Amino acid sequence: MSPHPHRALSGPSNSPGRPDERDERVGKATSGEIVRPTRLTEQQFWALADIPAEAEWFANIRNKHTRRAYKLDVHDFLNFTGIDVVGIRAVTRPHVIAWRKDLERRQLSPSTIRRKLSALSALFGYLCEYNANYLNPVNGVERPAADANEGKTPAIGDAQARALLACPSSDTLKGKRDGALLATFLYHGLRAEELVKLKVKDVQERRGVKHFRVHGKGSKIRYVPVHPAALDRIDAYTAAAGHALDLEGALFRPTKVAAGAIIEKAIAYRSVYDVIKRYAVAANIPVAEFCVHSLRATAATNALDNGSDIAKVQEWLGHANVSTTRLYDKRKTRAEDSPTFKVAY
């Protein structure tokens, strides 16, 4: 008898060389050629069937940065308890409380401790959902209080934003690209990863208005109207770079290429940070407190300050919860509104 009795349960099958008509219909590529469906080998099938639910959870986190952070957080817990990922199903609430106390002993910030507990809770929530665990031991474990009034990412003032936009030269290709890049951040509040993913075809017209087709977190698509000031810079940049009609290529690309060559790949994620830091120095913005995400916070605060509804800003930024959007609202910390400047003797 086969060691895997399920193997006896077989329906109509086709040999790899003879896909049925339906497979041929759904497998046709745009070129008209037939793309034959892939078939797992028996060894591959049973190997996949043996993958534990813990590994499935990691694989289902699509955002690579979230996946990396959660993986590090879970491994931190595993190192503390001295177990492997399979033994995690024996974890109880006292284990989690002991870990939280150890995180506090290491003097990690409250937000970091909350994130680590959230990562572990997300894993156990997945295990419970798929009946791989009976309970979530993180439930009921007290977490450090979060500052719900304002996030830690600093925003810059309007004058600083104008100075930043004025820094790139309009006489060079790099200056044109960097000017368009800064304008895309400051006028639309995109995440760095969202900007890097933009393709030329993602600048598209909807009801007579140019929009960005933004690939956000969780594979969610949202459409953001393009500000005229940013559109002018983008048009000038793509015309100078020569890829305005290369619809499938990246919108923002490296500029260090051979003379006359056109490169399709996107600017590197790390390079975006370097560009922002370079111009922050040129605009006399404190680099130690400034980052790419500051431009997102600046755009959100400016939109709210000029009368935009917070629910609209939430949708604009691609936030799942309005409480996250409130963390980007820096209006309460504007120095010019402080009573300090109302005092007169």
Rounded Cα–Cα distance for residues 86 and 42 (Å): 25
Which tokens is 219 given? Answer: 């594979």
Rounded Cα–Cα distance for residues 188 and 182 (Å): 10
Give the DSSP letter string of 235-296: HHHHHHHT-TT-TTSBSS--S---TT----SPPPHHHHHHHHHHHHHHTT--GGG--HHHHH
Which tokens is 77 given? Answer: 């817990």
Number of H helices, E strands in the chain: 14, 3
Give the CA angle between residues 66, 67, 71 to the nearest 5°: 115
Rounded Cα–Cα distance for residues 141 and 91 (Å): 13
Looking at the DSSP bridge assignments, the partners of residue 224 are 212
* Ramachandran category for residue 116: left, alpha or beta (phi over 0 → left; psi -120 to 50 → alpha): alpha
The set of catalytic residues is 191, 217, 293, 296, 319, 328
